[in-house]
Structure 1
Amino acid sequence: MFCQAIAGVTGAIVNPIEKGHPDVIPPEGEYASEEELRNYPVGLEIKCTVGNITKGANLRAGQPRINSLEGITWQAHHQEVEELLGLVWDFVQSEHDFNYPKVTGVFYADNLTTDDWGSISGTVGRNTKVTGMKVSGKEKMGQGWVALIDNPQYKNLYQRILKFSI
């Protein structure tokens, strides 16, 4: 939904193939072949995470994760992601006494390298290949913070984890 919203505001389109990279591309990408869309030369990759939760936290759907958040890691299917808009979300209390999923932080880096990504797991069998962002990439993302929820608990923890200041 976020990709669709970004595409709508910018006049871009969501990459029409599920495994396409990047996620949001210029409108002329609509006429590209599936092979071209797998690694289109321009656009914006968007990744979302709820973060790394304390092992054994036993959280249920709808419960806020902030008190159990130990880290923030974005994942990708390959190490070639150089430009990333990274979202962090949590279940946040609303005025209706219900916890809704809400974007709590938005971060951006356009200077990521393959060294900012870990080794790829899931390379055998039917597993999905995935790589997690290393500390160097997380610090780059933190330096490019875009928006934060107006809540000191989130702001302070995100600043500590991603090593940035406001």
Structure 2
Amino acid sequence: MRNYPVGLEVKCTIGNITKGANLRAGQPRINALEGITWQAHHQEVKELLGLVWDFVLNEKDFNYPKVTAIFYANNLTQDDWGNISGTRGRNTKVTGMKVSGKQKMAAGWVALIDDYLYKQVYQMIMKFSI
């Protein structure tokens, strides 16, 4: 959707986990979560619906992937995105969201899972209040 006149980008993240956390597929990440960031392939993302997901235990004692938070900003600028990496060779080109972009996303939180631990961790990391 780069430079498209209308539309909304949607990005998902499971977040940044503690180095060496040694988590297996299907294990919840919330106890090892250190940050939440979204990536894009260019710095022109102005409007973003950012989803955060994790493996969440259901009533059948199985951890399913589940959206645990939704954030939104329609005022992002190029300055809210970092330098583009992977510009050489066959690597995928990506840019990570800077703190300024995360602040805008946090100000536009839309929904949170009804779970005390998730709410507490997300509020601490993204620095917003309910």
TM-score interval, normalised by the smaller of the two chains: over 0.9
CA distance in 2, matches of 1:81, 1:52: 21
- Structure 1 position 119 matched with structure 2 position 118: no
Moved over 6 A (4+): none
- Structure 1 position 46 matched with structure 2 position 10: yes
Q: TM-score, normalised by structure 2?
A: 0.98
Task: Indicate the structure (1 or 2) with the bigger Cα radius of gyration.
Answer: 1
Q: After superposition, what is the alpha-carbon deviation per residue over 1:8-53, rounded to whole angstroms, capped at 9, x for unaligned?
A: xxxxxxxxxxxxx1xxxxxxxxxxxxxxxx5421011000000001
Give the number of equivalent residue pairs: 130
**Structure 1 vs Structure 2 CA RMSD:** 0.8
CA distance in 1, matches of 2:98, 2:124: 16
- Structure 1 position 136 matched with structure 2 position 100: yes
Q: What pairs with 1:1-166 in structure 2 (closer than 5 Å)? A: 21=1, 39-166=3-130
Q: TM-score, normalised by structure 1?
A: 0.77
Which ranges of structure 2 fall in alignment gaps of 5 or more residues?
Answer: none
Work out whether residues 16 and 37 of structure 2, in 8 Å CA contact, stay in contact via their aligned partners in 1: yes
Work out whether residues 38 and 97 of structure 2, in 8 Å CA contact, stay in contact via their aligned partners in 1: yes
CA distance in 2, matches of 1:139, 1:163: 8
Shift in Å, 1:80: 0.5
Q: Give 1 or 2: higher strand fraction.
A: 2
Q: Give 1 or 2: higher helix fraction.
A: 1
